[in-house]
Amino acid sequence: MISVLLVDDHPIVRTGLRATLEADPGLRVVGEAAGGDDAVRLARELRPDVVLMDLQLGPGIDGAAATAQVRALPDPPRVLILTTYDSDADILRAIEAGAIGYLLKDAEPADLLRALRSAAAGQTVLAPSVATRLVSRERAPGTSLTPRETQVLQLVASGHSNSAIARALFISEATVKSHLVQVFAKLGVDNRTAATAEARQRGFIR
């Protein structure tokens, strides 16, 4: 029996997931959380085999931050991401946080059930489009943004100034500017607005 903790800020989604999972005699939902902080607390208390984690949650920490905290627990559960977001920024943050898999919410129920079993067994599970993105990054590293460059550009897209980005990432403004120079060169643009538009078109950021 594989025990699962559901983490999603939409009650209707959690209800649907619970129904799907509990229709399988080999899976058992042991708890639900709407936010990242509750997810970490319940993972510590309930000790599930797998945490099925959304990335965009309610108030508090997001899914990637919650994943990192869950994976830092003693004898931690596996974390399988189930989200609607497939940008490089989201995928890289989740994987760096320690997620063992990354699925999109358009997955078939049977694929989700197989993914949960694979995750519980310690096997990496990736949606086909996510796997394609990661392979493309490996094959063309010179044109892909690094995780830090992606992070900087995501903050630019959110309207942050260089000084605000520096404070958020605990780096200097000079380092922020250096990252942006590299981003502009890789994307073939010469300003922040064009960089944001090009990165969104390529799926690097939301």
Whether residue 141 has pLDDT greater than 60: no
pLDDT over 70 (residue 203)? yes
Task: Tell me if the domain spanning 147-202 has CATH number 2.40.30.10.
Answer: no
**Residue 53: closest CA among 13, 12, 106, 111:** 13
pTM higher than 0.85: no
**If 0-12 CB within 10 Å is exposed, 13-18 middle and 19+ buried, where does residue 55 land?**
buried
**17 CB-contact burial (10 Å; exposed 0-12 / middle 13-18 / buried 19+):** buried
Q: What pLDDT score does 55 carry?
A: 93
CATH class of 2-137: alpha beta
Mean pLDDT over all residues of the chain? 90
For the stretch 48-91, pLDDT in tens is: 999 999 998 988 899 999 999 999 999 999 999 999 887 777 88
Backbone φ and ψ of 83, nearest 5° = -145, 175
pLDDT of residue 179: 87
Map out the domains of the chain as residue ranges: 2-137, 147-202
pLDDT for res 72: 95
